[in-house]
Amino acid sequence: MVTMLADVRTEAEQRTAEEILDLLGRRFRPEVVQQRKIGGRQVAYVPVAAVIERLNRACNTWNFRIVSRQTDTMLLNRWNAETRKSEPREVP
């Protein structure tokens, strides 16, 4: 669980670009980094809540927007009882 704290600054207290880059470039604490097994391999990742907390603390302001979106269709095999064969089917 990540606790979000308000970081209110006056205009005179705004961080410089160098300070922001320094804060964003720091390693995450080991207890924040989580592990997940994907495709038989152990993968380390940082939860999105921890990234958002880092951005909130480091940056004067930040936001995001989606600039493109791509959807792929994956083919999976499905057992057909009539033909008694495994046949491909589309899964959105």
Rounded mean pLDDT, 16-33:
93
Instruction: Report which of 76, 59, 56 is spatially closest to residue 3, judged by C-alpha positions.
Output: 56
Tell me what the pLDDT averaged over the chain comes to: 78
Contacts of 70 (CB under 8 A, 6+ apart): none
Domain ranges of the chain: 1-65
More confident residue, 92 or 48: 48
Beta bridge mates, 91: 74
Rounded mean pLDDT, 1-29:
72
Task: For residue 39, name the pLDDT band (cuts at 50, 70, 90).
Answer: confident
Is residue 11 over pLDDT 60? no
Cα 84 to the center of its chain, rounded Å: 42
